[in-house]
Amino acid sequence: MIRIFIDSDACPVKDEVYRVATRYKLHVFVVSNRMIAVPDSPLIERIVVDSGPDVADDWIAERVRSRDIIITADIPLAARCVEKGAYVLEHKGRLLDSDSIGMALAMRNLMTDLRSAGMVTSGSAAFCKTDRSRFLSELDTLIVKARKPPIRLLPPNG
């Protein structure tokens, strides 16, 4: 069974995830280091971890399995989850997979280096209706994809 993990601190699409997960009857883990409100549903589980850097990320990365869906904007967490065969979706609808995670990590590291060197870098654009729509479409597509049984390739002579 596919599960959805939300790296929920500052995630603007939690309500959308709840609605879609309820429609597909998927279990959702809402992981944060502070108490946040979640709907009263047996499908939605609030996980409050200790405060500290990467504690929520570690909780998610330790439990994620192949074909689970992770909602996060945290690129290092995304890389850890992709490595385990999970699907990762940013809140603006960008899919991070084995084809794109390397470039995403490289860009994150470059921007971190530029900021530490004192270079002023622009932040990302504000979250808008188009992002929300793209996210919902991509989440629905991912769930359908994750629910399909994996394709098993036969050996050349078998």
The answer to whether 28 touches 63, Cβ cutoff 8 Å, is no
Q: Which two tokens stand for residue 123?
A: 């932040």
Angle at 127 between CA 126 and CA 128, to 5 degrees: 110
Strands (E), 42-124: 44-48, 69-71, 87-89, 95-96
| Residues of the chain by 3-state class (helix, strand, coil), percent to 5 | 40, 15, 45
The pLDDT tens digits for 78-101 are 999 999 999 999 999 989 887 766
Split at pLDDT 50, 70, 90, the class of 104 is low
The DSSP element (H or E) to which 28 belongs, if any, is: strand 27-32
Domains in the chain, CATH or no CATH each: 3-147 (3.40.50)
- Provide the H-helix boundaries in 25-100: 55-63, 75-83
Phi, psi of 27 (to 5 degrees): -75, 135
Split at pLDDT 50, 70, 90, the class of 37 is very high
Gap between the Cα atoms of 26 and 11, Å rounded: 19
The DSSP element (H or E) to which 146 belongs, if any, is: helix 129-147
The answer to whether 3 touches 26, Cβ cutoff 8 Å, is yes
pTM equals 0.83
Using the predicted structure, report yes or no on whether residue 55 has a pLDDT greater than 90: yes
Q: What value does the mean pLDDT of the chain take? A: 87
